[in-house]
Amino acid sequence: MSKLKFCRMRISAFMLVLLLFSTHGIADGSPVVRLGGSGWVADAPTKVADLKGYFNPDSAAPLIEVIYFNSGKETLDSLLSGDLEIALAATSPVAAQLLQSAERRGTDVDDLVILSSVSLSNQSHYIIATTDRGIHSLQDLNGRRVGVMLGTSGHFAWYRFANTHALKTEGITLIDMPISEQSTQLQAGEVDAVVSWDPWGLQVQQALGENAVIFSAREVHTVDWLIVVRRGFAEENPDVMDRIISGYAKAIELIQNQPESARQLHAKFSGIPTEELARMEEGIIWRMALNWAVLANVEAQFQWLNSWPEYTDITPPTPAQYLHAEPFNRVIPGGVNLPSYMYSMDSIP
């Protein structure tokens, strides 16, 4: 059994846990808060905090239980359907949901809000093609079928990549497919290339071997990995929010100060050797952040989404409508690098 196959099996097992515990309590009726993480390599802080027990210090209640998905979009969808209380997701699906609720101006308890970014990556997304289909250069992608999980950071990466390299997008067919199916679909000839991210991208490369052709999106794309929650839940559970922020801060401190120890924990979760994780971590910055860079990333998604027919006439929300900075300010005083009017409830009309 390959290491990456083990990783996919483990994530599937956590999906089963989600189905079994689909109410607001675990089987014995004890209270539980469900946090959704991802197998994506940049979500290392969730694995570290989970395995080190940082979310549940000293038998704190309610229990924070971590459940893993294959993508942030799937995680966010589970939060929106009520199967999670907290989710980790990239800026693209978060921005789409913020636009969908933007017309309900104000502070609706069901509105999605961002607590913090925990990582920033500009290398983990890339396009993989195969020479078996005659693809050797960028221009060989014209007229092809490209597999991408629509509405994700991978989709935004493709948009930036295709525009930057002047590809003839009108002749390229984007085929929506789950990240976990990319390797199978590419080998079966259902698509000619895929937009992927690690560790699934590594799986695709290994399957193609010497026939793999890699096109990097590093120069045109960065993605924040965000902690998101419904406003009402955040306001009603400040202690839980503080434990979440504190847990991630401790995990990131371990990653920064003891990278090999943190990598071993990540390897324990995923089954991926530490040396492969080290390679995949290049271009990833782990940090707690609510700053101008996070806002710029979200705004870039709004601009992209406003070109979609379903979002054309929607005015994006203001930062004060989608930032919930109080937990960050309580746990890490001075850590929010934005003027208070950008996240103050008083500034919302």
Contacts of 56 (CB under 8 A, 6+ apart): 63, 64, 243
Which residue, 196, 216, 236, sits at the end of a domain? Answer: 216
Q: What is the pLDDT of residue 345?
A: 66
Residuewise pLDDT in 10s, the chain (349 residues)? 333 433 333 444 334 333 333 333 333 445 899 999 998 899 999 999 999 999 999 878 999 999 999 999 999 999 999 999 999 999 999 999 999 888 665 556 688 999 999 999 877 788 999 998 999 999 999 999 999 999 999 999 999 999 999 999 899 999 999 998 999 999 999 999 999 988 888 889 989 999 999 998 877 778 899 999 999 999 999 999 999 999 999 999 999 999 999 999 999 988 999 999 998 888 899 999 999 999 999 999 999 999 999 899 899 999 999 999 999 999 999 999 999 988 876 656 5
CB-count exposure of residue 100 (10 Å: 0-12, 13-18, 19+): middle
C-alpha 221/C-alpha 216 separation (Å) is 10
For residues 104 and 144, state if they share a domain. Answer: no
DSSP 194: E
For residues 253 and 343, state if they share a domain. Answer: yes
For residues 166 and 261, state if they share a domain. Answer: no
Q: What is the pLDDT of residue 22?
A: 36
Q: Using a CB cutoff of 8 Å and minimum separation of 24, what contacts does 12-21 make?
A: 14/67, 14/68, 14/69, 15/67, 15/68, 15/69, 17/67, 18/67, 18/78, 18/83, 18/84, 21/65
**CATH number, domain containing residue 18:** 3.40.190.10
**Pairing between strand 284-289 and 112-121?**
antiparallel
DSSP 338: S
For residues 241 and 315, state if they share a domain. Answer: yes
Q: What are the φ and ψ backbone dihedral angles of 152, each rounded to 5 degrees?
A: -105, 175
Q: What is the pLDDT of residue 154?
A: 92
Contact 213, 131 (CB under 8 A): yes
For residues 100 and 199, state if they share a domain. Answer: no
Which residue, 180, 197, 216, sits at the end of a domain? Answer: 216
| CA within 13 Å, CB half, 157 | 29
For residues 321 and 272, state if they share a domain. Answer: yes
Q: Where are the beta strands (DSSP E) in the chain?
A: 32-38, 63-69, 86-90, 112-121, 125-130, 145-148, 173-176, 193-197, 212-216, 223-230, 284-289
C-alpha 135/C-alpha 51 separation (Å) is 42
C-alpha 59/C-alpha 49 separation (Å) is 15
Q: What is the pLDDT of residue 244?
A: 98
Q: What is the pLDDT of residue 9?
A: 34
For residues 25 and 55, state if they share a domain. Answer: yes
Domain total for the chain?
A: 2
For residues 165 and 311, state if they share a domain. Answer: no
Q: Where are the beta strands (DSSP E) in 261-322?
A: 284-289
Quote the domain boundaries for residue 176: 125-216
For residues 116 and 229, state if they share a domain. Answer: yes
For residues 154 and 282, state if they share a domain. Answer: no
For residues 158 and 193, state if they share a domain. Answer: yes
Q: What is the pLDDT of residue 18?
A: 37
Model confidence, pTM = 0.87
Which residue, 216, 240, 271, sits at the end of a domain? Answer: 216
C-alpha 227/C-alpha 224 separation (Å) is 10
For residues 97 and 83, state if they share a domain. Answer: yes
Contact 118, 109 (CB under 8 A): no
C-alpha 238/C-alpha 297 separation (Å) is 26
Contact 303, 91 (CB under 8 A): no
Q: What is the pLDDT of residue 97?
A: 94
Q: What is the pLDDT of residue 221?
A: 78
Q: Listing from the earlier edge strand, what are the strands of the sheet with 125-130?
A: 173-176, 145-148, 193-197, 125-130, 212-216
